[in-house]
Structure 1
């Protein structure tokens, strides 16, 4: 509202959200994106996407830290590379429109607080692991731009820094990843800080089959109940769905 120079009124927002907290699904960014877009629309939709990301960043900073890796794509849609914060520099990575990309998201009944998952990360990493992960990051960007789902899955499945430390904290994670790949997923890894696990495929029906295998693996390997969702890449981002004038 400050960015819109609205100082004469106050607002009360009511949010209904289908995302569990602490799930690794960017639930705080979903709230921030919804609020920023809604308030902007109420007052005429004057702010561009980059300004909305900045507003959302302020909200994110209050609950999960000042980072745009969730809020930027939530508002802008698709894939967004965060190049820097001072100044904020975002690069939109356009995934080919003729390609289909589905995410299989499997959320177990297990708490994995972001603070705990961050604490598990190493204070120092080997140069060889740094070089490897940097290569995978570059390969991931190239795969997104080329619509190469095999390459995308391979890159996101090959982390040597974060996943090896966090996977042991999620019961059954290794078996879930193995089940996803054996069921035909192009790749599989931990979503955000976890405990949600994400796999990628190019077919919705195939995604449901992969999800079923992952749910079974969570029960067998970790004794955890889990639910699976299959979601197509959203290239639009947060937007006004409907409005009621009073």
Structure 2
């Protein structure tokens, strides 16, 4: 066995105590059993596979825990990359993490565990191997982090999605769509709770709605190709752990706020389907439940939202749990000005330095970007 830590396949990741699970996961278990029976101990199709998974914007304002979309830049730097390689030095059915790098944030790699039980990519890879029924090969992973931790851009989901996609492709791309998402969801469950609004769009691309968990049901929302939707993502130098941001949520909500949020979430879905950027932006800006409780925890967030709207953005809200602020625009023409105004607001009001990226809607989701053939 190689010197780096390996995880034998039968072990299962232990979810955090504060990550509640739904009462039944019959559908998820059925999907995994079906995938395993359809491809019992499949032969590898490649020696190694490299997959990329994009950043994601979860919640989209009023769609807390059930709406999300994938975003990426032209260089594919806004996301994570995983290489899965057959490793004969490992026991059959084992997963190991051989390397973690972060070119733009060198110190970040040192914060991530190479123990597969404690790494999002490792947990998802184990789940994918189990779903595939692989029992004769060990797999090592190399993870390249393009996303910061605790940013609200789906960092853990990107690692999990890239790992699940790479492992599945390594053995012939046999898992169904939901099987891939469920493999990634095993990782999300362990680190931030049982919600698929990051992992689903990270794997499927575009806008995705989580209709239910029991039975497990995802709805991809087709967006007209002509829609030139762009996202101005402004990330302050401030970490907002998902667990802390979820703990701040209200335990009870007024019926009026529930009705208003439901109508705004429905409007957002309609805006996506109709290709109406103005409606998407307006609905994203109209969260009356989650944003009001989280925004005060992010220094300057209210001023940043106001600055974005004044600069011509169609809408602005918190991306996921934050602290990234996301503004939507149609086309890239206003992107630089909106980003500058948002950065200035974070600095002047929140006393935080920030960086900005103008990204496009990523319609592809997790994808294979290179392969190495069997010798």
SS of the residue corresponding to residue 12 of structure 1 reads strand
- Once the two structures are superposed, residues 136-163 of structure 1 have per-residue CA deviations (whole angstroms, 9 ceiling, x without a partner) of 0111110110011111111110111011
Structure-2 residue corresponding to 1:143 = 271
Q: How far, CA to CA, are the matches of 1:40 and 1:197 in structure 2?
A: 33
1:119 aligns with 2:240: no
SS of the residue corresponding to residue 81 of structure 1 reads strand
SS of the residue corresponding to residue 357 of structure 2 reads strand
Among candidates 30, 34, 37, match of residue 158 of structure 2 = 30
Among candidates 148, 155, 167, match of residue 295 of structure 2 = 167
Q: How far, CA to CA, are the matches of 1:123 and 1:165 in structure 2?
A: 11
State the shift of 1:24 in Å: 0.7
- After the TM superposition, which segments of 4 or more aligned residues of structure 1 sit over 3 Å from their partners? none
Among candidates 343, 351, 359, match of residue 223 of structure 1 = 351
Q: How far, CA to CA, are the matches of 1:126 and 1:4 in structure 2?
A: 45
Q: How does 1:38-117 map to 2 (within 5 A)?
A: 38-117=166-245
Structure 1: runs of 5+ lacking an equivalent: none
1:212 aligns with 2:340: yes
State the shift of 1:242 in Å: 1.2
Structure-1 residue corresponding to 2:262 = 134
Q: How far, CA to CA, are the matches of 1:161 and 1:172 in structure 2?
A: 19
Structure-1 residue corresponding to 2:310 = 182
- Name the structure where strand makes up a greater proportion of residues: 2
- Name the structure where helix makes up a greater proportion of residues: 1
State the shift of 1:199 in Å: 0.4
> Normalising by the residue count of structure 1, what TM-score does the alignment of the two structures yield?
0.98
- 8 Å CA contact retained: 2:165, 2:366: yes
Structure 2: runs of 5+ lacking an equivalent: 1-128
Among candidates 20, 30, 38, match of residue 148 of structure 2 = 20
Structure-1 residue corresponding to 2:4 = none
SS of the residue corresponding to residue 135 of structure 1 reads helix
Among candidates 270, 282, 292, match of residue 154 of structure 1 = 282
- Once the two structures are superposed, residues 55-91 of structure 1 have per-residue CA deviations (whole angstroms, 9 ceiling, x without a partner) of 1111211111121111111111101110001111011
SS of the residue corresponding to residue 204 of structure 1 reads coil
- Once the two structures are superposed, residues 189-223 of structure 1 have per-residue CA deviations (whole angstroms, 9 ceiling, x without a partner) of 00000000000011223112211110111001111
RMSD: 1.0
Q: How far, CA to CA, are the matches of 1:31 and 1:217 in structure 2?
A: 31
- 8 Å CA contact retained: 2:149, 2:239: no
Larger radius of gyration: 2
- 8 Å CA contact retained: 2:206, 2:362: yes
SS of the residue corresponding to residue 222 of structure 1 reads coil
Among candidates 194, 197, 202, match of residue 325 of structure 2 = 197
SS of the residue corresponding to residue 25 of structure 1 reads coil
Q: How far, CA to CA, are the matches of 2:336 and 2:177 in structure 1?
A: 33
SS of the residue corresponding to residue 159 of structure 1 reads coil
> Normalising by the residue count of structure 2, what TM-score does the alignment of the two structures yield?
0.64
Q: How far, CA to CA, are the matches of 1:57 and 1:114 in structure 2?
A: 15
